[in-house]
Structure 1
Amino acid sequence: MTEQPEQIEQPEQTERAQPEAPLDWVSRLADEVLAEASHRGLDETIVCASGISPSGPIHLGNFRELITPHLVADEIKRRGIDCEHLLSWDDFDRFRKVPKGIDGVDESWEAYIGMPLTSVPAPAGSPHASWSEHFKAPLLEAMAATGIEVREISQTEQYRAGVYREQVLQAMRDRFAIDKVLDQYRTLEAVEAARQKSTGKGRRVNASAKQGKALTEEQAQAQTEAERGSGAATDDDGSGGSSGSGGSGAGGGGYYPFKPFCTVCGTDNTTVTAYDDDTHDLTYTCTKCGHTEQVNLDTFTNGKLVWKVDWPMRWAHEHVLFEPSGVDHQSPGSSFVVGKDLAPIFGWERPVGPMYAFVGIAGMAKMSSSKGGVPIPTDALEVMEPTVLRWLYARRRPNQSFDIAFGPELQRLYDEWDALSRKVADGSAQAADRAAHLRATSTASALLPTTPRPLPFRTIASVIDVTQGDEAQTVRILGELDPANPVASTDDLRPRLDCAERWVLGYVPADERTIVRTEPDAVLLGSLDDAQREALRLLVDMLDEHWSLDGLTHLAYAVPKIQRGIDPDAKVRDPELSAAQRAFFVLVYRLLIGTDTGPRLPTLLLAVGAERVRSLLGG
């Protein structure tokens, strides 16, 4: 496993003073929410909401829908103000299509398209009762690990229990007003769709290329799918869209914002053909099985409002003051935009709702074949401490896109996190960085678990790489890093030790793993000149007295200095010395692992062991 090249010694430089950072984005959004509550004259618990459709793997982009309201709600709680985070499971959404690459799922699941997600069976072999429960479970696990507390609501349970009966009746009563509002946006939506169709995929590829992230057409399509999330922004609005709802000009029945599921085949391939405002009798025909039925909305609960009406209705019902949404929800004619004019029909105003940007993945191409598909939060938590994952989202404004690294960049991420932690500890961190660190490591009610002895991730990973995951060997070597303060227990190294092991053994490609030679390279040793032999002799002779991470680091840089008569402790800017140090590192790497680069040399020496180092270096 190759790390960043060894850094040749440079003289210390004075860090330029930075201006004090402003309050972070979480504080500003919390201020905005509280100002909105004051503007509306509300004196009640503040409600921040997330809505997630468990239609498939809930990936790291969807996680932004959850953690953004969590952070804002948590900031409000820190101020001593009553606030709750509501997680609405959109599990009454229709099953749109059969996702690819899901274990235990084949083309037979196409029979369930159009049914509620709670009525679709889970993938074969799953311990869960339904499709929706299967995909909820990993997110709930990740939430527990990252300290995200919510009040869960199942939309299947809400609708089928009749919780929204009065709102459904109101929507049907006010359907002409709703249709008039929606009609104002249908033209805009059509124009936007036509524009996107005319510009094609190339526009997305070029836009990404401008950010230095050129995408293939396949990657661009994957990004588009991820940005759509549950697909709610493309739901029909009851006007006769793709899923077959009755609407203006559909079956001569006019516009209807309620969508029944057929009581025979269970799908929403239904067209409402009539509704009686006095009796609340509704007639529908199923375009899939041909069933026609009259039901009464005073008792019938096997259906739901179409999404663009459902969302603002729920804002009003739950008194939501804050709910973010993705790019798809905030384009012309989409649900969040339309909701501004529909929410007042239900006696509410649209909540504060910032748009959040795309979350990409770095290093996916090098993930092992066992890691198929788009990573979900529990995948990230295999290799990231919960505090590090929270920090990735807390440190950037919602409208800033960013990548989550699963490749070599992960080591740099841990370096940055450790550097920030040190700055926070010594009081030198900027205000916004301190705030992000606080939000990553704690909530209003608790501290998140952290690694008691956070040795550098890249060091741990290098040791695991060389030892092939042998825990006894790994612990022995890590214990030798600092002889004056040895690691007392492996518990002091967890969860970071486990994260590093899973990353090395599961994510680093086999051809990038470090393989220590079993026998000395006789050919290379025989070709060395006197200066190279002298350098190796100096290294071998002084191994024992420098046998610690700091000691070996000093020794590796000191050998070329000693050969040139330079004080080993001197800070020297000398291109010739730098070149000699570089050449010395390459020589040692070749003799130990047969490559020009590898793990940091001091770490590698510790991992190989003094006796074996002497043997391989000809000592």
Structure 2
Amino acid sequence: MTHSIEDDWVARFADEVIASAQDRAPGKPIVCASGLSPSGPIHLGNLREVMTPHLVADEIRRRGYDVMHLLSWDDYDRFRKVPAGVPGVDESWAEHIGRPLTSVPPPPGSAYGSWAEHFKAAMAESLERLGVRYRGISQTEMYRSGAYTEQILLAMRERQHIDGVLGKYRTKIAPEENDEDGESVAGYYPYRPYCGVCDRDTTTVTAYDDATTELTYTCSYGHGATIRLSEHRDGKLVWKVDWPMRWAYEGVHFEPSGVDHQSPGSSFVVGSQLVAEVFGARAPIGPMYAFVGIAGQAKMSSSRGGVPTPADALRIMEAPLLRWLYSRRRPNQSFKIAFDDEIQRLYDEWDTLGRKVAEATAPPTDAAAYFRAIGTATGPLPVTPRPLPYRMLASVADITVGDPAQMLRILADVDPGDPILDLDEARPRLDCAAYWVATYVPDDQRTHVRTAPDTDLLAELDDEQRAMLALLAERLEDNWSLGGLTTLVYGVPKIRLGLPMDTKPTQELKVAQRAFFSLLYRLLVGRESGPRLPTLLLSLGAPRVRTLVGA
């Protein structure tokens, strides 16, 4: 079965990948691939590297095909620089620059044996929560086991051809990239050994014999050796040769990559030529994906530190919502993930979409993105049993300073006909909202309820203002639910203007309502604005509201 909805990018790529796989090798498993380098905290921009093939692989799996999502942990990459913002890590880690990530010690206090394992573990936990099913491959294990030995020897035999391909592009890319593609004053060699003495890749190959596979190298730290490459296990192909080699070795049909890999002379362009001409395979379907940003923050970089990770996002939003952010946008569309007030609007949009899907009124592509967010081919993701509005839960957590007993008291009154009897009914969404308030809402934006009536302001009120406050206080109990209080706060100005409760908003009515809301905020929290008034009133309780409004 195929899908032809033009905007459903997941279905469209699934169609292309299935067709390509059947053309290449009918009956064999379809392979979608990702690659992550655990060089530091793996951030939300890196997550797109995994979510894009995950969503395509999951769609293929839903259609009944045998599909595998490979996740290559590029843990045999060199440690390039000491990332900023990692607790306990200082410039003393610079001595490990040039060593494999699996040979670098982990941050202080880590339960893991290496730098790579430490950062892999955090990402793996987040991927599990997100429902991402994959087969992980450690490139350290692959290289050190000798799995790639034949491919390495082939690349060395074909080094002149590879050098010719790379040479077409070297003037188009940055000099530091030229240094990393294997070019040196001693000639071109696509393999770089890690030094047998200092374990760094600051090595230069000075000679190689194809017949014996003897390779001689020197190290910038004064070391050197001659090894037999057919038996050597401590080194790797340079990136622009390594990547197409893996495409051929794993039979990859689909692997996206970032903008930086798809410009002229970059990895994907060069790799697409090398995989065919050297390794005898086809390049995968490889769409470019755009950057993911954070609201109010510049482009993410693991080395700069302070970048939000999937684990950070999952502390303030449920897994289906985070999946949705990646499923609803085509890979080449950039988007931002909100850690500020925008998250409340985002949750409103998510809940509205859920209602439209339930009513079968959502556009097909929106519904498809929603269903891909809430579950996978293997089943649904966990959900909050009673998904109350996020902005309301945030307000409740804010006003109560996260006190569980007070939160339960308030949430039980949201719908008296079907009260929440246990906070677990509102979790994990409640915990996400509470964490967001405690961590990302600046103190000057937090709600501080007045401890005593504002006697000066109350003394300045005119007769109409006093009448509105008295009417509110008088009708509180009869309207003590979220819906009832919503009707009441909007209704008090209508009643005072002599209008029916079902009156549509007019300009005059809107002005009266805004003035009334502003007065209530000033009396209750000492500001012109704050949490939604029905939630605020519910949180305070009727007796305290009466006291503060002077009724």
* TM-score bucket of the superposed structures, by smaller chain: over 0.9
* Partner residue of 1:307 out of 227, 239, 244: 239
* Partner residue of 2:209 out of 255, 264, 276: 276
* Partner residue of 2:354 out of 421, 434, 438: 421
Unaligned stretches of 5+ residues in structure 2: 299-304
Q: How far 1:565 sits from its partner (Å)?
A: 1.2
Question: For residue 39 of structure 2, what is the amino acid of its counterpart?
Answer: S
Q: Deviations over 1:576-601 (max 9, x none)?
A: 11111110011111000001111011
Which residue number corresponds to residue 451 of structure 2? 518
Q: Deviations over 1:120-166 (max 9, x none)?
A: 00111211110101111111111010100110100000000000010
Q: Which has the higher contact order (CA 8 A, sep 6+)?
A: 1
Q: Deviations over 1:349-399 (max 9, x none)?
A: 11000000010001559xxxxxx7010000000000000000000000000
Question: For residue 238 of structure 1, what is the amino acid of its counterpart?
Answer: G
Q: Distance in 2 between matches of 1:89 and 1:145?
A: 19
1:615 and 1:59, CA in 2 relative to 1: closer, same or farther beyond 3 A? same
8 Å CA contact 2:6–2:12 kept in 1: the answer is no
Which residue number corresponds to residue 507 of structure 1? 440
Q: How far 1:36 sits from its partner (Å)?
A: 1.2
Q: How far 1:38 sits from its partner (Å)?
A: 2.7
Q: How far 1:488 sits from its partner (Å)?
A: 3.2
* Partner residue of 2:149 out of 144, 162, 165: 165
* Partner residue of 1:482 out of 411, 415, 433: 415
Q: How far 1:566 sits from its partner (Å)?
A: 1.0
Which residue number corresponds to residue 267 of structure 2? 335
Q: Distance in 2 between matches of 1:576 and 1:151?
A: 63
Question: For residue 480 of structure 1, what is the amino acid of its counterpart?
Answer: D
- The 3-state SS of whatever aligns with 1:577 is helix
TM-score normalised by length of structure 2: 0.96
Q: Distance in 2 between matches of 1:128 and 1:37?
A: 38
Q: Distance in 2 between matches of 1:269 and 1:618?
A: 76
* Partner residue of 1:57 out of 38, 41, 49: 41
1:355 and 1:235, CA in 2 relative to 1: closer, same or farther beyond 3 A? farther
Q: How far 1:40 sits from its partner (Å)?
A: 2.1
- The 3-state SS of whatever aligns with 2:227 is strand
Which residue number corresponds to residue 380 of structure 2? 447
Q: Distance in 2 between matches of 1:235 and 1:472?
A: 62
Q: Distance in 1 between matches of 2:160 and 2:225?
A: 23
Question: For residue 359 of structure 1, what is the amino acid of its counterpart?
Answer: V
Which residue number corresponds to residue 206 of structure 1? none
Q: Distance in 2 between matches of 1:41 and 1:502?
A: 49
Q: Distance in 2 between matches of 1:174 and 1:286?
A: 24
Which residue number corresponds to residue 595 of structure 1? 527
8 Å CA contact 1:22–1:431 kept in 2: the answer is no
Q: How far 1:21 sits from its partner (Å)?
A: 6.5
State whether structure 2 residue 513 is matched by structure 1 residue 554: no
Unaligned stretches of 5+ residues in structure 1: 1-19, 194-230, 241-249, 366-371
Q: How far 1:22 sits from its partner (Å)?
A: 4.1
Q: How far 1:26 sits from its partner (Å)?
A: 0.3
- The 3-state SS of whatever aligns with 2:168 is helix
Which residue number corresponds to residue 227 of structure 2? 295
Which residue number corresponds to residue 15 of structure 1? none
- Equivalent runs, 1:72-471 vs 2, <5 Å: 72-189=56-173, 236-240=180-184, 250-251=185-186, 254-288=187-221, 290-344=222-276, 345-363=278-296, 373-471=306-404
Q: Distance in 2 between matches of 1:235 and 1:363?
A: 35
Q: Distance in 1 between matches of 2:215 and 2:291?
A: 41
Q: Distance in 1 between matches of 2:191 and 2:80?
A: 18
Q: Deviations over 1:10-60 (max 9, x none)?
A: xxxxxxxxxx96451000011111121133243300000001100111000
Which residue number corresponds to residue 302 of structure 2? none
Q: Distance in 1 between matches of 2:216 and 2:480?
A: 83
* Partner residue of 2:21 out of 27, 37, 55: 37
Q: Distance in 1 between matches of 2:179 and 2:60?
A: 33
Q: How far 1:65 sits from its partner (Å)?
A: 0.1
Q: Distance in 2 between matches of 1:544 and 1:493?
A: 24
Q: Distance in 2 between matches of 1:350 and 1:281?
A: 31
Q: Distance in 2 between matches of 1:26 and 1:160?
A: 36
Q: Distance in 2 between matches of 1:22 and 1:293?
A: 57
Which residue number corresponds to residue 223 of structure 1? none
8 Å CA contact 1:262–1:268 kept in 2: the answer is yes
8 Å CA contact 2:493–2:513 kept in 1: the answer is yes
TM-score normalised by length of structure 1: 0.86
* Partner residue of 2:462 out of 511, 529, 532: 529
Q: Distance in 2 between matches of 1:470 and 1:353?
A: 49
- The 3-state SS of whatever aligns with 2:79 is coil
Q: Deviations over 1:320-363 (max 9, x none)?
A: 00000001100110110001110011121110000000100015
Q: Deviations over 1:188-231 (max 9, x none)?
A: 326xx7xxxxxxxxxxxxxxxxxxxxxxxxxxxxxxxxxxxxx9
Q: Distance in 1 between matches of 2:152 and 2:319?
A: 41
Q: Distance in 1 between matches of 2:294 and 2:5?
A: 28
Q: Distance in 2 between matches of 1:615 and 1:188?
A: 73
- The 3-state SS of whatever aligns with 1:454 is coil
- The 3-state SS of whatever aligns with 2:308 is coil
- Larger mean Cα displacement after TM superposition, 517-526 or 574-583: 574-583
Q: Distance in 2 between matches of 1:77 and 1:22?
A: 20
Q: Deviations over 1:479-510 (max 9, x none)?
A: 10111111132221111011011011111111
Aligned residues with identical type, % of pairs: 62
8 Å CA contact 2:30–2:67 kept in 1: the answer is yes
Count how many residue pairs are aligned between Structure 1 and Structure 2: 541
State whether structure 2 residue 539 is matched by structure 1 residue 607: yes
